[in-house]
Amino acid sequence: MARYDRAITVFSPDGHLFQVEYALEAVRKGNAAVGVRGTDTIVLGVEKKSTAKLQDTRSVRKIVNLDDHIALACAGLKADARVLINRARIECQSHRLTVEDPVTVEYITRYIAGLQQKYTQSGGVRPFGLSTLIVGFDPYTAVPSLYQTDPSGTFSAWKANATGRNSNSMREFLEKNYKETSGQETIKLAIRALLEVVESGGKNIEIAVMTKEHGLRQLDEAEIDAIVAEIEAEKAAAEAAKKGPPKET
Amino acid sequence: MECVFGLVGNGFAIVVADTSAVHSILVHKSNEDKIMVLDSHKLVAASGESGDRVQFTEYIQKNVALYQFRNGIPLTTAAAANFTRGELATALRKNPYSVNILLAGYDKETGPSLYYIDYIASLHKVDKGAFGYGSYFSLSLMDRHYHSGMSVEEAVDLVDKCIMEIRSRLVVAPPNFVIKIVDKDGAREYAWRESVKDASTA
């Protein structure tokens, strides 16, 4: 099997592209990221691994704008992400220049996925080691969308999804608890999913909310702490309710 | 016959452009907006070959937007002006653009500014500037009446004087003008000065 690691253009005898699978491993080691689509709000959340004390946290933005109406979060190799995000930003402007319309979420997802696929079928290059969660509102229809791409270059649309570390647990949680939400409820759902795998607290989570009117808004630590406190309170109340009212003796 | 001019006032910059799109002896339309909103606090008033004008200004606009997404902050007016000039200069000895530009902008730190960029990539930071045949009249009038720190009312008054002069003294004077202003609250349309409306079916 080791012989089939080298050039990614080579299939293994049992039909695997090992470099792509190894890239997916890199993604699985990356920080947790979650995306939830509501009716009028889309939320992206990313785990913030403990930051070095001397580091300026503002220079490490994990959820970025691709255009006024599109945002991206990713899990995996951050340096690869920088390159991909730069190309996507250029494509967003290039599309506006040539057809005088902003991109749709599907278009830019297809572009990013296409780029990731190209690097699985070229000589001397390795695949991008990241999966992306792309959210946005389509320009004229205002339909909210959430898409995911991965190192193989596949993409699909989701109501809610997670990638990176412990993504399976988060996805299980979302499958159990997803329902159509809007506004604050969507934000809460995303944070609850992240809290399944991340230590609670505003310091460890980065949340960005996209709405049609206000574009992308990063929530600050205080806001996140407040919502986390709300969620913990709800959880405690639910626990207490489960235990049942005190029995009359 | 295209007239573009502008000036810097107290905390704002104002630019004026004629709105006729002409091909030889035919006026295609007289409500062509030649002042593009480059970003929230910049205006580009352009005159010249209409194909080049649209192509070049849109190209600059998209690159300015890209810079903002990449770096999280917008370009300063000076930086945008120098970028524009650089693009004109690069194209000059291969595929020159026939576009003259007045770039007006407002920066929080440095206030309003106006840049004169001509088709052979000269760049000057100016208090007042003008392009085209109309410049013979508007520059003289602005030289006479301009003083630094003019209020919006005074500036619009001067603009109207220039428009009157152009209309009465230039042989093929454009009938309609658009006035746009940029200040701390952003770049926006201020007014139109129309003496001829496009004929439309009842």
* pLDDT value of position B199: 63
pTM: 0.90
Shortest distance, CA B82 to any CA of chain A (angstroms): 20
Exposure of B55 in the CB half-sphere (CA atoms within 13 A): 12
Nearest Cα neighbor of A63 from A77, A48, A51, A53 is A48
Shortest distance, CA A67 to any CA of chain B (angstroms): 7
Residue A124 has φ and ψ, to the nearest 5°, of: 75, 5
Per cent of chain B over pLDDT 90 is: 93
Q: Which residue of chain B has the CA closest to A61? A: B72
Tokens coding A48? 């913030």
**CB of A64 closer than 8 Å to CB of A72:** yes
Q: Which residue of chain B has the CA closest to A58? A: B72
Q: What is the ipTM of this complex?
A: 0.87
Selecting from B59, B62, B69 the residue whose C-beta is nearest the C-beta of A65 gives B69
Q: Which residue of chain B has the CA closest to A83? A: B70
| B70 touches A: beta carbon within 8 Å | yes
Q: Is the Cβ pair A65, B66 closer than 8 Å? A: no
Shortest distance, CA B66 to any CA of chain A (angstroms): 7
- Cα distance between the two ends of chain B: 31
- Listed as ranges, residues in chain B with pLDDT below 70 are 198-202
* Span A69-112, pLDDT tens digits: 999 999 999 999 999 999 999 999 999 999 999 999 999 999 99
> In sequence order, which residues have a C-beta less than 8 Å from that of residue B109 and are 6 or more positions away?
none
Neighbours of A233 (CB within 10 A): 10
> In sequence order, which residues have a C-beta less than 8 Å from that of residue B94 and are 6 or more positions away?
none
Q: Which residue of chain B has the CA closest to A90? A: B66
* Span B126-169, pLDDT tens digits: 999 999 999 999 999 999 999 999 999 999 999 999 999 999 99
Selecting from B59, B63, B70 the residue whose C-beta is nearest the C-beta of A86 gives B70
Selecting from B62, B70, B72 the residue whose C-beta is nearest the C-beta of A96 gives B62
Shortest distance, CA A79 to any CA of chain B (angstroms): 15
Q: How far is CA B169 from the centre of its chain?
A: 21
**CB of A42 closer than 8 Å to CB of A36:** yes
